[in-house]
Structure formats: structure tokens, C-alpha cells
Structure 1
Amino acid sequence: MPLVSIITPCYNSSKFLKETIASVMNQTFTDWEWLITDDCSSDDSVEIIKSVNDSRIKLTISTENKGAGHARNISLEKASGRYITFLDADDFWAPEFLTEMISFMQKEQAEIAYSNYARCNAELIPQLEDFKADKEVTFNNLLKTCRLSLLSSMYDSQRTGKEYFPEGSKREDHVMWLNLLKKIPAGKPLPKTMAKYRMHSNSVSRKKQDVVKDQYLVYKDYMKFSTLKSLYYTANWAINGFFKYSKLFN
């Protein structure tokens, strides 16, 4: 079995997919499997993936579009690696990402680890200061802001078990990390920039005003908090989110 399972949802990602594939193929650590679930793309994403002749790439083609969380869950079901990590079909890893993360997790005996990542435009040109992995992440501090980004994080499924994404929530990654952190004391930071995140102007994560309700439901429906407690954490999340991207508003 491979040591690492990489989980990727793909939907109409042909514009950036070749760069993402190259970033995985260029990894200095090679004991991985890459589970890609195509979420009913209408472009040539599937053809691009199939053109790569590598048995470590395992493609599942969904016949119905059900969103990124569902696509990730399909891949997670089939994942056999001890270490689970995520890469969306338009993001990018430094060649040493897997090597550095696995070495760090083993040295620190970490169940979850996360690194810095660069916040870039569509051409992968940095637009903001790198997002810093500068503190341990706990269940309590992750309630106020989601410091764990899928593309720069990894967890040890042998110690935590697999954690699936809630389907139907636009904040499914935050719920998933919170559920994982209920099981362990803390996730540990690797203060190196190991990934590049494309900030699309039309992405769900950038339209904060449209997802406040969805964030509230993270606390109310998934964490089972009271209304008052849910509003408190939603307000904290909104304030922290503004400062996270404040330069974009200046």
C-alpha cells in the first residue's frame, strides 16, 4: 500500500489541471496514490487526466454532479494510504511538499500538520502575504477561523481514522477539520511555504457575504451549538476572515 493518499475533486478544471498534475508528478516523495474523482465535467478534464500514464493515478468518473465534498468522499472511501492529503484541481504544490510534510509529521509525532501557502492569482503570482502556519491548531481556536487549508494540510489516518466531508454544506472542509480535532489535542504548524492557492474572484470561499449563513450552520447544525453560541462564533469567523484578506479591500 502507498504511504500517502492524495484526494482531488475535479470539475471543469482543464484550464489549470496540467499545472496541478505537474506539481504532483514532480514530487520528490514518490510513494503515493492519487485518487481523483471527476464530478461530471463537461470540458476535457477527464481526457487530460487519462493522458497521464501512471498507475498511481486512480480516476473515478461520477455520472452526477454532487459537489466537491461528495467527490472527495468517493476518493476517501478508496484511499489506502496512512497519510491523507488534499489538492484541488487548480492548486499547486512545491516539489518537496510531501517529503517535508511526512518528515515533519513523523519527527513531531503529529496527527495533523499544516504548512504556509502562497495566495496567488490565476497565474500563480502572489497577491497577498503568504498565509502563515504560525500556531498549533485546536478545536477551540479553529472555531473562530479555519486556519487549515486543504491544499497545505495532512493527517495521519492510522491515528485519527478517516474523516469524511458533510455533503450539502458549502463549509464542508471546516466541519471536517473540526470533527478531526475533536479526536486529538492539536494540529502542528510547519512554517514553510509549500503550496500555492489560486484565489479566483468568483470562488465560493472569496464571497464571504454569501456564506455567512452557511458558516452559522457549521456551528448550529454540525457542532450542535446554541443559537447564541453559534452567532458568537460566526461573528468571530467573519471578523477574522476580513483581516485574512484585508489587503484586497484597501
Structure 2
Amino acid sequence: MPEVSIITPCFNSSKFLKETIGSVLNQTFTDWEWLITDDKSTDNSVEIIRTLSDPRIKLTVADKNGGAGHARNLSLRKATGRYITFLDADDFWEPNFLEEMIAFMKKENSELAYSSYARCNENLIPQIKDFKADKEVTFNNLLKTCRLSLLSSMYDSQRVGKEYFPEGSKREDHVMWLNLLKKIPVGKPLPKTMAKYRMHSTSISRKKKNILIDQYLVYKDYLEFSTVKSLYYTATWALNGFIKYSKFFN
């Protein structure tokens, strides 16, 4: 079995897919499997992936478009690696990402870790300061802001099991991390910039006003908090989100 399973959802990502592929193939740590699930792309993403002859790369084409959470879950069910990590089809890893993260987790005896990452435009040019991995992450502080980004995080499935994404929520990554942190006391920060995140102008995650309701439902429906408590955490999350991406603070 490979040491690491890389989980990638793909939907109409042909514009950036070759750079993402290159960032995985250039990893200094090579004992990995890469499970890509295409979510019924209408561009040539599948054709690009099928040109790859590396047996470590395993493509699944979904029967229907079910969203990123559904696509990740399809890959997760097939994952056999001890360490689980995520990379969207338009993001980028530094060549030593896997090597550094695994070494850090073993050194710290950590079940969950995350690194700093650069916040870039579509051409991978930094736009604001790097997001710093400078705080330990717990269930309680993750309620107020999601410090864990999929592209810069890793967990040990041998110790905590696989954690799946709730399907249908636009905040599926936040819910997944919260569920994981119910099982473990803390996630450890690796304060090195190990990845590059593309901040698209059309990205769902950047349209904060449009997802306040979805974030509220994280607390109200998935965590079953009271209305008042859910509103409090939604407001706190929104404020921290503004600070996280505002150029004034970065």
C-alpha cells in the first residue's frame, strides 16, 4: 500500500490541470497514489488525465455531477494510503510538500497537520500575504474560522479513520474538519509555505455574502447548535473571513 493517498476532485479544470499534475509528479516523496474523480467535466480534463501513464494515478469518472464533496468521497472510498491529503485540480504544491508534511507529522506524533500556503491569482502570482500556519487547531477555535485548507493539510487515517464529506453542503470541507476534530484534540501547524492556492474571482469560497446561509447551516443543521449560537458563530466566521482575505489586514 502507498504511504499517501492524494484526493482530487476535477471539474472543467483543463486550464490549470497540467500545472497541478506537474506539482504532484515533481514531489520528492514518491510513495503515493493519486485518486482523481472527474465530476462530469465538459472540457478536455479527462483526456488530459488519460494521457498520463503513471500507474500511481487512478482516474474515476463520476456517473453524474455531484459536486466536489461527492467526488472526493468517491476517491476516499478507494484510498489505501495511511496519510490522506487533498489537492484541487487547479492548486499547486511545492516539490517537498509531501516529504515535509509526513516528516513533521511523525516528528510531532500528530494525527493532523497543516502548513502555510501562498494566496495567488490565476497565474500563481501572490496577491496578499501568505496564510500562516501559526496556531494549533482545535474543534473550538475551528468553529470561528476555518484555518485548515484542503491543499495544505494532511491526516493520519491509520489513527483516526477516514473522514468523509457531507454531500450537498457548500461548506463541506469545514464540516469535515470539524467532524475530524471531534475525534482528536489538536492539529499541528507547520510554519512553512508549502502550497499555492488560486483565488479565482468567481470562486464560491470567495463570495462570502452568498454563503452566509450555508455557513449558518453548518452550525444549525450539522452541529445542531441553537439558533442564537448558530448566528453568533456565523457572524464570527464572517468577520474572520473578511480579515483573512482583506488586503488591509494582509
Output the CA distance in 1 between the equivalents of 2:63 and 2:13. 17
| Alignment-derived partner of residue 162 in structure 2 | 162
| Alignment-derived partner of residue 177 in structure 2 | 177
5+ residue gaps, structure 2: none
| Alignment-derived partner of residue 112 in structure 2 | 112
| 2:151 pairs with 1:151 | yes
Alignment deviations for residues 69-122 of structure 1 (CA, whole Å, 9 cap, x no partner): 000000000000000000000000000000000000000000000000000000
| Alignment-derived partner of residue 199 in structure 1 | 199
| Alignment-derived partner of residue 16 in structure 1 | 16
Q: What percentage of residue pairs aligned between the two structures are identical?
A: 80
SS at match of 2:129: coil
Output the CA distance in 1 between the equivalents of 2:245 and 2:177. 21
Q: Look up the equivalent residue of 1:36 and give its one-letter code.
A: I
Q: Look up the equivalent residue of 2:70 and give its one-letter code.
A: H
| 2:217 pairs with 1:212 | no
| Alignment-derived partner of residue 45 in structure 1 | 45
* Correspondences of 1:50-199 after superposition (within 5 Å): 50-199=50-199
Alignment deviations for residues 44-63 of structure 1 (CA, whole Å, 9 cap, x no partner): 00010011110000000012
Structure-1-length-normalised TM-score? 0.99
RMSD: 1.0
SS at match of 1:37: strand
SS at match of 1:99: helix
SS at match of 1:66: coil
Output the CA distance in 2 between the equivalents of 1:248 and 1:182. 34
| Alpha-carbon offset, residue 246 of structure 1 | 1.1
Output the CA distance in 2 between the equivalents of 1:224 and 1:157. 26
Structure-2-length-normalised TM-score? 0.99
Output the CA distance in 2 between the equivalents of 1:51 and 1:246. 40
Output the CA distance in 1 between the equivalents of 2:199 and 2:126. 10
SS at match of 2:247: helix
| 2:13 pairs with 1:3 | no
Output the CA distance in 1 between the equivalents of 2:194 and 2:156. 18
SS at match of 1:247: coil
Q: Look up the equivalent residue of 1:90 and give its one-letter code.
A: D
Q: Look up the equivalent residue of 2:172 and give its one-letter code.
A: E
| Alpha-carbon offset, residue 177 of structure 1 | 0.1
CA contact (8 A) 2:243 2:249 kept: no
Q: Look up the equivalent residue of 2:230 and give its one-letter code.
A: S
Output the CA distance in 2 between the equivalents of 1:236 and 1:24. 36
| Alpha-carbon offset, residue 249 of structure 1 | 9.8
5+ residue gaps, structure 1: none
| Alignment-derived partner of residue 242 in structure 2 | 242
SS at match of 1:30: coil
Instruction: Provide closer, same or farther for how the CA distance between residues 23 and 73 of structure 1 changes in structure 2, counting only shifts above 3 A.
Output: same
Q: Look up the equivalent residue of 2:7 and give its one-letter code.
A: I
Runs of 4 or more off by more than 3 Å in structure 1?
Answer: none
Q: Look up the equivalent residue of 1:39 and give its one-letter code.
A: D
| Alpha-carbon offset, residue 248 of structure 1 | 7.3
